């Protein structure tokens, strides 16, 4: 075998024996050379993560390797089959020769231990380093991962760090044993575009400086195009495409690959729908956004201002004993208008104030000042209580449908609850409304008796959309509503939102850190940074001529990603 080959996965099949021979990964093969990066792409449930976990011998029950081999060249230049290796020997390889970075650092890191302690624990496990040198080695690792203040970060707990800092700590733990192979399992999924760029550059630099090979798993083909020269695309546990990344992305041979590639919103034009199979030319696409040149249409829309925000401020008060209260200003002098049956995009990095703005409009922020008008009615009168008739006209779709839906309730109970609170309608009428909204979000009637855990992520988000729309609102706030979904499911939800907007005459306040998604959905955008508006106006105009360096950097980061 070629001496440059580090990993050789040969006809790997993973499945369960309970209830028949159920195969979740079926007969896949690929090779990885020293110092190279291989990308693995696919939808949720395609078998990407199970393939990665099988390399480390960490498959969760009841999954196990049914057949095939995973050949790995150890640091002693010996070939071992990781599928047949005893657990005692596998432990010597985990961390020391193969490291892994998981998708969600918040759930992977121990919340009750400081970050420095967890990194030093990894060092103790991987290398026989004297105790007096552990702290110094920990500082070196944090410095190597781009942490500007290693001492403070090492003393901090995971919840005290930002998403990007937590991911850097995870990377420091993964490379503590100086592994030959690093497995990065969706390490940038929950990060905004600037943090994605930083993490990708960090991983590239680490691979180059340490001559480390990497398997980078992602559903986002834009990222894989940037970081992996070769790619494998999986679908339903099978490998459907493999080869040079540029060639595979430009000439996809299978329909699932075509759908995956065309589910990503393009930056230079707007298709009428995302995720369409086949080799469709740009000219066949039409814009989903009405032209801003239609003066008569714009004049009519000016008479239908749905939401107007004037000089909005919002703040949080924190007790800083013994110095009294500390006030953190989250929003400063925010003003904008949203017209009826239009979509306004709100862009910004994590912590820029996007969600605080949504909460302020909905009356969920106790400390606000300024004016908010909905259909020319002030939302925050002196009594500070919003009328119930207005509340039903404004609804929100949250980022994580699993945590925003009651796990103990059936879909019937989830959708009926808003009707019981806001409308005193007969039971038969409620049933008709629930069946109608299920049909509109394209869910079967059999879903009514099921609970949220019985659905996929995309189906759960459809339930959340149905709950938001069942009261016939005029305004729907989409707060990162596709951030936790893979690109193909994201495309389905974006298509659905556009269909419902046209069918029901909705207005959207579309909040996201994904610039490509906002550019596709919204004809006008607002850019937030540190609670202030840095740019506002026509999306295409700002994209070509950003008004601030901040937006320019965000667009450049997206083009790099």
Q: Taken in order 416, 417, 420, 423, is the CA torsion positive or negative?
A: negative
Helix (H, G, I), strand (E, B) or coil at 205: helix
Helix (H, G, I), strand (E, B) or coil at 171: helix
Per-residue pLDDT tens digits of the chain, which is 561 residues long: 677 899 999 999 999 876 666 889 999 999 999 999 999 999 888 899 999 999 999 998 889 999 999 999 998 889 999 999 999 999 999 989 999 998 778 888 999 999 999 999 999 887 767 888 899 999 999 999 988 889 999 999 998 887 788 889 999 999 999 999 999 998 887 677 878 888 899 999 999 999 999 999 998 888 898 899 999 999 999 999 999 999 999 899 999 899 888 888 888 888 889 887 765 444 444 444 443 444 434 444 445 899 999 999 998 877 655 566 778 888 999 999 999 999 999 998 877 889 899 999 998 888 888 999 998 888 876 555 677 788 889 999 988 777 889 999 999 999 999 999 888 788 999 999 999 999 999 899 999 999 998 887 788 889 999 999 999 999 999 998 888 788 888 899 999 999 999 999 999 999 988 888 999 999 999 999 989 999 999 999 999 999 999 999 888 877 655
- Give Dmax over CA atoms of the chain in angstroms: 78
Residue pair 532/526 in contact (Cβ under 8 Å)? The answer is no
Residue pair 515/525 in contact (Cβ under 8 Å)? The answer is no
Helix (H, G, I), strand (E, B) or coil at 283: helix
- Across the strands, what pairs with 242? 232
Residue pair 6/77 in contact (Cβ under 8 Å)? The answer is no
Residue pair 29/239 in contact (Cβ under 8 Å)? The answer is yes
Structure-token pair, residue 93: 């390889």
Domains in the chain: ranges and CATH: 34-57+93-262 (3.40.50.300), 342-353+386-560 (3.40.50.300)
SS (H, E, C) 155-167: HCCHHHCCHHHHH
| Mutual angle of helices 487-504 and 255-262, in 10-degree steps | 60
**Cα angle, residue 481 at apex, residues 159 and 446 outer, rounded to 5°:** 115
Task: For residue 116, give every residue at least 6 positions away whose Cβ sits within 8 Å of its Cβ, in sequence order, or none.
Answer: 135, 138, 153, 154, 155
Half-sphere exposure of 429 (CA within 13 A, CB side): 7
First to last CA, the chain: 35
| Mutual angle of helices 427-440 and 457-469, in 10-degree steps | 130
Residue pair 438/466 in contact (Cβ under 8 Å)? The answer is yes
């Amino acid at each position: 075998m070629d001496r440059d080959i580090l990993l050789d996965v040969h006809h790997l099949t993973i499945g369960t024996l309970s209830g028949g021979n159920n195969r979740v990964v079926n007969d896949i093969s690929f090779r990885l050379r020293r110092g190279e990066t291989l990308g693995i792409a696919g939808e949720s449930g395609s078998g990407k993560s199970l393939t990665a976990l099988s390399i480390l011998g960490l498959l969760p029950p009841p999954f196990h390797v049914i057949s095939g081999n995973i050949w790995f060249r150890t640091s002693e230049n010996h070939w071992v089959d990781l599928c047949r290796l005893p657990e005692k020997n596998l432990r010597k390889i985990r961390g020391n020769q193969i490291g892994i970075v998981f998708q969600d650092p918040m759930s992977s890191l121990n919340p009750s231990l400081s970050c420095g302690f967890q990194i030093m624990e990894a060092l103790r496990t991987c290398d026989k380093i004297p105790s007096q040198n552990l702290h110094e080695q920990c500082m070196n690792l944090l410095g190597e991962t781009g942490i500007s203040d290693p001492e403070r970060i090492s003393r901090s707990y995971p919840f005290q760090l930002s998403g990007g800092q937590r991911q850097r700590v995870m990377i420091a733990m993964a490379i503590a044993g100086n592994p030959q192979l690093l497995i990065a399992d969706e390490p940038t999924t929950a990060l905004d575009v600037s943090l994605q760029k930083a993490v990708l550059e960090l991983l590239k630099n680490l691979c180059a400086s340490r001559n480390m090979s990497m398997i980078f798993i992602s559903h986002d083909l834009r990222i894989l195009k940037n970081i992996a020269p070769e790619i494998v695309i999986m679908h339903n546990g099978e490998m459907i495409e493999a080869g040079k990344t540029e060639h595979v992305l430009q000439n996809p041979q299978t329909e699932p690959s075509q759908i995956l590639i065309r589910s990503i919103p393009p930056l230079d034009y707007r298709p009428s729908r995302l995720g369409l199979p086949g080799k469709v030319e740009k000219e066949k696409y039409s814009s989903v956004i009405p032209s801003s040149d239609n003066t008569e249409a714009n004049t009519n829309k000016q008479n239908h201002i749905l939401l107007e925000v004037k000089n909005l401020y919002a703040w949080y008060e924190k007790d800083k004993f013994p110095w009294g209260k500390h006030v953190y200003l989250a929003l400063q002098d925010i003003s904008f208008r949203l017209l009826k049956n239009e979509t306004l995009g709100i862009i910004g990095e994590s912590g820029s104030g996007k969600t605080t703005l949504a909460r302020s409009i909905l009356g969920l922020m106790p400390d606000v000042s300024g004016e908010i008008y909905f259909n020319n009615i002030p939302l925050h009168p002196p009594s500070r209580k919003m009328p119930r008739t207005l509340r039903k006209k404004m609804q929100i779709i949250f980022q994580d449908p699993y945590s925003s839906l009651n796990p103990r309730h059936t879909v019937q109970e989830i959708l009926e609850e808003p009707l019981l609170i806001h409308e005193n309608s007969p039971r038969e009428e409620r049933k008709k409304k629930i069946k109608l909204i299920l049909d509109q979000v394209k869910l079967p009637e059999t879903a009514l008796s099921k609970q949220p855990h019985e659905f996929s992520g995309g189906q759960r988000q459809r339930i959340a959309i149905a709950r938001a729309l069942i009261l016939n609102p005029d305004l729907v706030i989409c707060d990162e509503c596709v951030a936790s979904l893979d690109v193909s499911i994201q495309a389905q939800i974006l298509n659905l939102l556009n269909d419902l907007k046209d069918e029901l005459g909705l207005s959207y306040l579309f909040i996201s850190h994904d610039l490509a998604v906002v550019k596709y959905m919204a004809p006008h955008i607002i850019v937030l940074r540190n609670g202030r508006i840095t740019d506002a106006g026509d999306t295409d105009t700002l994209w070509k001529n950003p008004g601030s360096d901040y937006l320019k950097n965000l667009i450049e980061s997206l083009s790099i990603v």
